[in-house]
Amino acid sequence: MKNRLKIAIFLLGTVWVMAGCSKRQEFDLRQPGEGSVTFVFGFQAENDSTLPTRADETELLPRDQIGQMWYMITDSRGEKLDLHTHKLESDFSKLTVEGLKEGDYTVVFMATASREQQPAAVDLPQRLANVWLRNPTDAEPLDEIYYYKKLDLHVGRAQASVSQPVALERCVGRVDVDVNVSSEYMWRFIRKIEIAFDEADGVYTAFDATGAYSGVGAIPVYDITESRSFYSLPSRKALSGVVTIESERSDGMPFVRKYRFSGCRIEAGRVAHIRIDYQHPESREGLLYVRENDLSRFETDTMFLADEPREVFYNAGRRSFYPNAPLQVSVAGDHRLLVKFFSPIAIRDVKILCRFNKFSPEFVELAQFDLIYPFMEASFPLPVVNSERTFTTASGRKIVVPAQPDLSGEDVSLVIQTEDPFMKKIERIDSRWYIRFSAYSADAGHAYWRHMNPLLCRHGVALALNMAFMFASEEFNTEMEKYDGRLLDNGRNPIDLDQLRQRIRSHGGLSLGCVSGVGGLGGGQTYGLANYCYTGVYFDATSPDSHPHSYPRQAMFHEYGHCLGYSHSSTMTYGDQWTVLCAAVFVQMGKDGKLPVCSKDAVGNLPM
């Protein structure tokens, strides 16, 4: 017998059956091996009690949900037969049995979504009357999907080859605990959900091959925090009990509330619902407060991971920023707060102030973050979208804002507040460069242009932050004064330093790309560097006693000289003037810890 997973000598499946549902099928197979019966599997749809569902509705078998399947054929006395010619398809679509002698048989099938080779709940029966499934213990539910079907089969004299559909049916029921929260945001407070039934003998604990349930047990306490749902063999009657929810407040203080329910009847193939109206002392507050250990509870991601596709990091709509504003906050089209942080350095204690433009002239505290991690991209539900909320204004006054179901970016003005040292550095940047990434002619067989990759994009972000910050720094502008009269334009005329500063401040930005065979290509907003230049410009990318004017740093500022409009006939590209000035200040500020991103390890040690 051959199967994708180990098939004992018995069953197969992913179906559920209503106990006692059996039909006699008659097939004529004259001699062993001359005829066959092929059972083609489907399954009967789960019946959600909240939806109108036809009891006889049958669906295709969900092959990707099948972990194992078993089958057994018994004689008229209920004894298992040893089958010699039978084949179960590896995709669980059908079972073919050949060579049955004339007589009456019972065929039973079982399946599960579990891929555990021999689930603890499964006993492989030797007789039709044997138990097939049992609870792991009498105090916890089966909590796994199992399907079952039983058919009576008569083999007559005439030769035949028959295809027989089998609608597998669930032999367990599902219980959903529907926790009604005032906002999706409230889920971040919930730490644990448990359910307990009052009845000590309320739930069956075993299921035999005939399709009969037996044994009784209780479910005193069962953790459903992750799924808020579980599967169980049916209950003997309608059950009552308690759902216990452990939560925390915004300040981390825990509290527990219990919610009673009744009338929960667990039936095979059906979904029972227990509805809870979740209560939290901050359920009317509008502030979105995200602690560091709560980030995983939201839709958080990281930009420029190793597997990020080119169509993402080359898409300026998704991956572009201004060095003077690396933290981006906005209300997205789905009415959620979208946060993107173009930085390899984490920041802490960030507040987002909001003015609801159509409602109030005052700014209120909309969100607070304990941590915004490097290259974070995250989406957060805003409590005020679904219901009326109370906010605190910048002056400390409380105001009530009605529900904003259609909230959009045009409806709000957002302001970022933080005293984080990294962001205090960023505040000193006086230019507004638009930074994005480009493939240029990498796909056109160009001699020099090559593709960026996510790691180079991260180094490109650091480069743009550092370069924009350095040009705005007192250290750079003081040192540049020493080069007055030595920085020459394309006509070899001295450059007015104030005009140069203004040219840097007003420069439109850079479209970062990658080159090979040369150190860089640049001009206007085109800015391409070799990969070793992106990674080799940090102060600690070279030995401490080496001259700061290394080739990567020369290429970095040489190409930016082109972006400022200077040619090779000036001293802003070649020579011992502009590139030496920039490289010396850049390295010294890195050594002194004054740049936004000083060390190569700030990027290199981040998870990819």
Amino acid at 414: L
539-553 core/surface letters (b: 16 or more CB in 10 A; e: else): bebbeeeeebbbebb
Q: What is the DSSP string of 400-424?
A: EE---TT--GGGEEEEEEE--HHHH
Distance of alpha carbon 437 from alpha carbon 454, whole angstroms: 10
Residue 528's DSSP bridge partners are 513, 521
Cβ neighbours for 545, distance < 8 A, ≥ 6 positions apart: none
Query: What are the average pLDDT values for consecutive 10-residue runs of the chain, which has 608 residues?
Result: 31 30 40 65 69 37 65 87 80 82 86 76 88 85 90 74 83 93 87 92 91 90 93 92 94 93 92 92 90 87 97 97 97 94 98 92 93 96 91 90 92 96 97 97 93 97 98 96 94 96 96 95 96 96 93 96 96 94 97 96 94
Q: What is the pLDDT of residue 1?
A: 32
Q: Nearest 10 degrees: CA dihedral of 384, 390, 394, 397? A: 160
Do residues 391 and 399 touch, judged by C-beta distance below 8 A? yes
Q: What is the DSSP string of 508-539?
A: -EEEEEEESSSSEEEETTEEEEEHHHHHH-SG
Task: Give the pairing type, strands 270-277 and 47-48.
Answer: parallel
For the chain, the straight-line distance linking the first and the last C-alpha, in angstroms and rounded, comes to 45
Neighbours of 44 (CB within 10 A): 23
Q: CA torsion sign, 427 to 429 to 434 to 436? A: negative
Q: Which tokens hold the place of 83?
A: 């089958």
Q: Residue 322: how many CA atoms within 13 Å on its side-chain side? A: 14
The answer to whether domain 173-277 and domain 288-427 are alike in fold is: yes
Task: Give the pairing type, strands 173-180 and 270-277.
Answer: parallel
In degrees and rounded to multiples of 5, residue 423 shows phi and psi of -70, -25
- 295 in helix, strand or coil? helix
In 3D space, the residue among 20, 35, 208 whose CA is nearest the CA of residue 131 turns out to be 208
Q: Is the pTM of this model over 0.85?
A: no
In 3D space, the residue among 418, 565, 553, 576 whose CA is nearest the CA of residue 482 turns out to be 576
Distance of alpha carbon 318 from alpha carbon 390, whole angstroms: 33
24-170 fold: Immunoglobulin-like (2.60.40)
Q: CA torsion sign, 403 to 408 to 413 to 417? A: positive
Q: Which tokens hold the place of 423?
A: 């962001």
The structural domains of the chain, with segments of one domain joined by +, span 24-170, 173-277, 288-427, 435-604
Q: What is the pLDDT of residue 323?
A: 97
Tell me: domain 173-277, CATH 2.60.40, correct?
yes
Do residues 382 and 337 touch, judged by C-beta distance below 8 A? yes
The CATH classification of domain 288-427, taken from the options 2.60.40, 3.90.550, 2.10.240, 1.10.20: 2.60.40
Do residues 158 and 255 touch, judged by C-beta distance below 8 A? no
Distance of alpha carbon 494 from alpha carbon 491, whole angstroms: 9
Residue 196's DSSP bridge partners are 242
Cβ neighbours for 227, distance < 8 A, ≥ 6 positions apart: none
Do residues 269 and 148 touch, judged by C-beta distance below 8 A? no
Q: CA torsion sign, 45 to 168 to 145 to 243? A: positive
Q: What is the pLDDT of residue 158?
A: 64
Alpha-carbon radius of gyration of the chain: 35
Distance of alpha carbon 105 from alpha carbon 103, whole angstroms: 7
Distance of alpha carbon 453 from alpha carbon 313, whole angstroms: 8
